[in-house]
A = this chain, B = another copy of it.
């Protein structure tokens, strides 16, 4: 096959395809992850976990927000879902004393259903994989719950609603 205009065009198309394929690799997508429904939820609180070097926004579905604003959170009602959005911390590039979100780390969920999760204080523990909410393994959930027993008196929730 001679290298002519046609093979040149084909080669160009092939290179374009390869280049698009490269752009679609997970690594290239890392700065724009796929998010779940928590992205549209409203703010319950924020936190800076200094021992983990992470910043968090804690958001709630409508049921959780309504409960927080009404002061009806001990216990939180069935149907409330709390989302914890976690980023690695970094200094703001133009204002270094401000610690702001760097790379997105994870989004985790606490789902209140007292009938379904009686053994873990009525809460199910999950996380989002992209836009899909997935329940944690039994082992991982036990780990979550063990830590959250520190705030048993607040129905196992660390977040103190900041916009009541």
Contacts and interface: CB of A to CB of B under 8 A. Distances in A.
Given A42-B40, A94-B158, A150-B94, A163 B50 contact: no
Interface in A86-107: 87, 89, 92, 94-95, 97-101, 104
Report whether over half of chain A's contact residues are helix, strand or loop; otherwise say mixed.
Answer: strand
- Copies of this chain assembled into the complex: 2
Interface stretch (A1-9, A20-28, A52-60, A134-142): A52-60
A97 B39 contact: no
A89 to B, nearest CB: 8
17 contacts: A39-B42, A40-B42, A43-B85, A45-B100, A46-B56, A46-B101, A47-B98, A47-B99, A48-B55, A50-B99, A51-B97, A85-B163, A92-B158, A94-B154, A94-B158, A95-B150, A100-B162
